[in-house]
Chains A and B, each alone.
Chain A
Amino acid sequence: MTAARWRRYATGYAFILPWILGLTFLVAGPFLAAGYFSLCEYPPLKDPMYIGTANYAELLADPAFGRALGVTMLYAAAAIPLGVLLAMTLAMLLNARIRGQAFYRVIFYLPHLVPTVVVAILWMWIFNPKAGLLNFVIARLVAAGDWWTGHFFNVAALRAGKLALAGSGAALGWLAIAPLLGVATWGSLARRLWPHQNSRLRQLVCLAAILAIILAALPLISAALHTLCPVDMQKLRSPGWLTDGDPMPSGLPGAPSWALWSLIIMSMWGVGQMAVIYLAKLQDVPAELYEAAEIDGANWWRKTLSVTIPMISPVILFNLVMAIIGAFQIFAEPYIMTGGGPEDKTRFVAMFVYDQAFRYHRLGYSSAVAAVLFIIIIILTLVAFRVSRKHVHYSGR
């Protein structure tokens, strides 16, 4: 090997040396040590005593661990898809060519920069059932909804029988969902109905129609929900949020508690970071693909499904994997906001690990829990990669 090559190698290794040292002593070392400690009884200040797989056997029979794992799974199952969906929607909106685009991007990213403890305390106030902002807004919405519902039913009852009302309600409900799926559907419908009108008038008529249908459908949807889940609808008027351990929806055994929903809602606060990553990839999608799709007659919804999502799928996978890891490591927010309560309904696995190590002084047992948590994350990540093989498209290949 020539001297020049040696120098090149030496320089390269010099650059990565700090990282290698950090990985070895701060990550790999403790990681391996924790693996060994998980096979030991290890109170602080005493030598670890090897006990084989006893900690793992205890873990399987520990109801508190089962509860913590269940809570974490529920949280992940709800927060990850919601977060990915919301971040993607946000990114698509931020990708639109509108005035003040940079301002909006900054605004949506800002929450991610707020320290976790500050966010937790802020949301504790937002969720306060008595003085919180959320219940204040809900109370006003419910009051407006009540007024409108009463008004609607009075008007409707004068003109039609209850049966006809229920039938039209179901139809209107479906029609109300349509605009949520894609305004473009309405746009193309309007284009067919009024091909000669100018586009602005068409848009206005379209918007008015959507609003009218939503207003008409809302009371009926509300009535249906009140019939199907009266307890939840009653609670929705002023939820107890972090203090309520009841499942929501109440009829569904094993559903997340109101307190857990609060944390799920709060987790949406930080989707700005995910959205920025989506945005970077969205801007990388070649415009000619959209042009080609338009020539083929694709509407907005079809372009999203067939062009946008496949093109950004590597980033979706990345965000999904990061979200899985993040969801299984959530600690600070529930620790500050609920302390695991009510009734352990927000005690996550990471909190369980902390309690075992620092409150009960069981370092061996807590290492075993951490090892199990690691295995779960690895399995879920591998599943995500496995599933992604068919659905993720890398443009370079």
Chain B
Amino acid sequence: MRGVHFILAAVVLAVVTVAWLEPRPEVADFDPATDAAYKDTWSKRVHITYWEKWGSFEAEAAQKMVDAFNAAQDEVFCHYIRTSQVDRKAMLAIVGGQPPDVVGLWSDNVAPFAEADALMPLDDLMAAAGLGDDHYIPKYLEMCRYKGRTYVLPTAPVSTALFYNIDHFQAKAAELRAAGLDPNRPPRTIDELDRYADVLTVKDPDGTPVIMGFLPTEPGWYNMAYPYCFGGGLFDANGNPTPDLPANVRAFEWLKGYATRYGRENTTRFREGFGNFDSPQNAFIDGKVSMVLHGVFFPQFIDRHRPALRYGVAAFPCAAGVAGPRSFLTEDNIGIPRGCKNPEAAWKFVLWTQRRGLEILNRLQGKHLPLTGVPDGFRMGHPNRFVQVFEDLAKSPEAFIIPTSVVWSEYRDEFNRCFDHIWQWQPPADQLEGVTGAARDEKVRRLTHDEIVRTLGRMQATIDQKLRRKLQRLDQRKARAPT
């Protein structure tokens, strides 16, 4: 028995000793930049950590921006830490009291983070530094705000446009001309987009597509943009959810048209042949889809995997009578978590990114600037030859954003579920029994319309209820807060 006590005590002692002797990790341990350039100032600098989401060449661009900051001054040293699912990890770190000094988020995160008091408001700091609203393209700054206060600042903006494969257009030039379409330009209206898509689509004898002119579900990241191209939208001017607008119904009817025309099973199977976004098997890069709706960053990925691809970029078409050009804008942004160790040093870094860093970052990432004033030479030799197109789209008065909303995460998930439902839905066979020809088409159209109206109505009710409950709880909390 004495032996057992001795062994237990020895194990406990060994664990305590190892834990005691283990040197505490220092932030500097994680950084390779302990070279001669920083030798003299290393210990005098305030070391800050910057968590950011990017990988691959985008991470290298962000690292270069950080390196430039570290070289430009000798008071602060920023450690760039690549972090996947940065929003979730940052929130956990903030709740745990160990946040990074600077965090890179998405525009969707602003409302939930701000509502949770997880970010420091930046308005006073901006005013003191002379960073005014006029510095930014308005919609990009709008995405940084929640309830009138600025919680983050933009880093990498994203505007979206139509990418079209010039080789596909030329290969089908004769057929396009026969259909009354010009093979030397992209479609300008939704109607034209459909007609181009029909001509460009190539199918196997069994009906399975080999090339699709346009597939609305590819890449599937901007499904919420389509209603805007029909004059609809997901929110009204006051930020209230409006999924069941008549224009949205029209947009969904148009989307469903693709599933009906090309076959739901066929398009699903066709999609399964696509590779990852960042791979040569990307549907557009691989030449499987002739036209896609994509963001400003896409040309860099095309250049990585198929530099010889001949493609063009233009504004995504709108339905007849809808003012354009329309582009869906989102952005990556940067903020200072509440409770971080070095807020002043963090602000120095954030401010530097807004004055000098954005130019380095967005040039290397192939994006435009979210700023009104573009420095001389930014566009010269820019790796994205369509950067001007994207910049113009971002400045278009018809460009649109998703307003910062506390229920946006739930709304987006519900929207995607409804999108899936409508795409997959098929009219009940018993209702089509005995109906043929034009009458059948008309009945299918009517049933589909009814289903879309029903689905969007349900979405409206669900989101209204969620929003109402959320606001009710916020009021309750406010009422109970000590005065």
Which residues does A use to contact B, with CB under 8 Å? 7, 11, 14, 41, 43-46, 49, 51, 58, 63, 128-131, 235, 238, 240, 243-246, 341-344, 355, 358-361
**Do residues A45 and B424 form an inter-chain contact, with CB atoms below 8 A?**
no
Residues A44 and B95 in contact in the complex (CB < 8 Å), given A129-B268, A359-B409: yes
Contact among B8, B269, B477 with A130 in the assembled complex (CB-CB below 8 Å): B269
Taken residue by residue from 472 to 483, chain B's Cβ proximity to chain A (1 for < 8 Å, 0 otherwise) reads as 010011001000
Chain A residues with Cβ below 8 Å from B409 are 359-360
Give 17 A-B pairs besides A41-B476, A45-B94, A46-B116 with Cβ atoms closer than 8 angstroms.
Answer: A7-B1, A11-B1, A14-B5, A41-B473, A44-B95, A44-B116, A44-B118, A45-B117, A45-B118, A51-B473, A130-B273, A131-B272, A235-B265, A245-B420, A343-B421, A358-B92, A360-B112
| B462: Cβ under 8 A from any A Cβ | yes
Within 8 Å of chain A (Cβ to Cβ): is B338? yes
CB pair A11 B417 closer than 8 Å: no
Q: How many A-B residue pairs have CB under 8 A?
A: 77
A129 and B265 alpha carbons, distance in the complex (Å):
11
Q: A343 contacts B268, CB within 8 Å?
A: no
Chain B 1-18 interface 0/1 with A at a Cβ cutoff of 8 Å (1 = within) = 100110010000000000
A360 contact set on B, CB distance < 8 A = 112, 409-410
A46 touches B117 (CB 8 A): yes
Question: How many interface residues does chain B have, given as a range?
Answer: 35 or more
Does B115 interact with chain A (Cβ within 8 Å)? yes
Whether A246 pairs with B476 at a CB distance below 8 angstroms is: no
Question: When the two chains form the complex, which single residue of B116, B268, B416, B417 contacts A45, counting CB atoms closer than 8 Å?
Answer: B116
- Which residues of B have CB within 8 Å of A358? 88, 91-92
Show 29 residue pairs from A and B whose CB-CB distance is below 8 angstroms, ordered by the A residue: A14-B5, A41-B473, A43-B115, A43-B116, A44-B116, A45-B94, A45-B95, A45-B116, A45-B338, A46-B117, A46-B477, A51-B473, A58-B469, A129-B268, A129-B269, A130-B272, A131-B272, A131-B273, A240-B265, A240-B272, A245-B420, A341-B417, A341-B420, A343-B420, A343-B421, A358-B88, A358-B92, A359-B88, A361-B116
- Name the CB-closest residue of B to A240: B268
| A361-B112 in contact given A41-B476, A58-B469 (Cβ < 8 Å) | yes
- CA A58 to CA B477, docked complex, whole Å: 18
Is A245's CB under 8 angstroms from B424's CB?
yes
CA gap between A351 and B413 in the complex, in Å: 13
B269 contacts A343, C-beta separation under 8 Å: no
Bound-complex Cα distance A243 to B264 (A)? 11
Q: How far is the CB of A26 from chain B (nearest CB, A)?
A: 16
CB distance A246 to B117 under 8 Å?
Answer: no
Q: What CA separation (Å) do A243 and B338 show in the bound complex?
A: 41
What residues on A are CB-neighbors of B473 within 8 Å? 41, 49, 51
Q: Name the prevailing secondary structure of the B interface residues.
A: helix
| Chain A residues near B112 (CB-CB < 8 A) | 360-361
Query: B residues bordering A, Cβ < 8 Å?
Result: 1, 4-5, 8, 88, 91-92, 94-95, 112, 115-118, 265, 268-269, 271-273, 338, 409-410, 413, 416-417, 420-421, 424, 462, 469, 473, 476-477, 480
A130 to B272: give the CA distance in the assembly, Å: 6
CB-CB under 8 A for A41 and B477, given A343-B417, A343-B421, A359-B409 = yes
Q: Is the CB of B8 within 8 A of A243?
A: no
Q: In the bound complex, do residue A246 and residue B424 qualify as a contact, i.e. CB atoms below 8 Å apart?
A: yes
> Which residue from chain A places its CB closest to the CB of B97 in the assembled complex?
A45
Residues of chain B contacted by A355 (CB below 8 angstroms): 413
- Which chain B residues lie closer than 8 Å to A129 at the CB level? 268-269, 272
Contact A344 B265 (CB under 8 A): no
In angstroms, Cα B273 to Cα A44, docked, is 41
Q: Give A43 to B421 CA distance when docked, in angstroms.
A: 31
Residues of B within 8 A of A240 (CB): 265, 268-269, 272
Contact of B476 among A11, A43, A51, A238 (CB under 8 A): A51
A14 to B1, CA, bound (A): 12
Chain B residues whose CB sits within 8 angstroms of the CB of A131 once the complex forms: 272-273
CA distance A174 to B476 in the complex (A): 67
Once A49-B480, A130-B273 are accepted as A-B contacts, the answer to whether A343 and B424 lie under 8 Å apart by CB is yes
Using Cβ atoms and an 8 Å threshold, which residues of chain B touch A51? 473, 476
Instruction: With both chains docked as a complex, state the minimum distance between the C-beta of B166 and any C-beta of chain A, in angstroms.
Output: 27
Q: How far is the CA of A341 from the CA of B116 in the complex (A)?
A: 29
Nearest CB of chain B from residue A48's CB, rounded to whole Å: 10
Chain B positions within 8 Å of A341 at CB level:
416-417, 420
What 4 A-B pairs have minimum CB-CB distances, sorted nearest first? A130-B272, A343-B420, A130-B273, A44-B95
Known A46-B116, A129-B272; judge A11-B5 contact (CB<8 A): yes
Output the least CB separation between A104 and chain B (Å).
Answer: 34
Cβ-neighbour of A128 out of B1, B265, B272 (below 8 A): B272
